[in-house]
Structure 1
């Protein structure tokens, strides 16, 4: 089964796919009679929908964001990645980690050593 077919089959069965950003577990949540899907690692969530099936379908069929390693990110400066993870949580990223806010950089933007 291809990726699109698998997404559609999971959606029909009410299966919530893993988070497209971090690969973590995601859960369908009911909020005052409305529905949303959220990553349990709190990295991303869906919009809120009146229909449970639409919330799952929207979550399951969206594309994952671009991803790259910290050392290739626009936010990487010399030895530190200044992405949202480092700003909010004070956690440093290693250059070989996948960046949580990856934006491709031009080679002349920043030094990588």
Structure 2
């Protein structure tokens, strides 16, 4: 398997990991940074952004799957790595930059 076959599942992992906080924000009625409306993006904007990320991630997963399904191959690792890399990045950037949370007092 070439590395180019691992790019779509990696990006799918990133997109699906990104969808979770936005969908959670929409459900809880909070604000959260999006590229659509900035740092004070409303729950409705977060719902749209989260849904767009989820749809994009699921589309990439489907497009990169083998015909007939079957067991995962090495693409599962690429998918999980994409989700993990994005999650670690968000935890670290939030801890340092406090984009969506106030700094600890």
More relative contact order in 1 or in 2 (CA 8 Å, sep 6+)?
A: 2
Structure whose CA Rg is larger:
1
Structure 1 or 2: more strand by fraction: 1
Q: Give TM-score, length-normalised by structure 1.
A: 0.25
TM-score (norm 2): 0.26
Instruction: Please identify which structure carries the higher helix content.
Output: 2
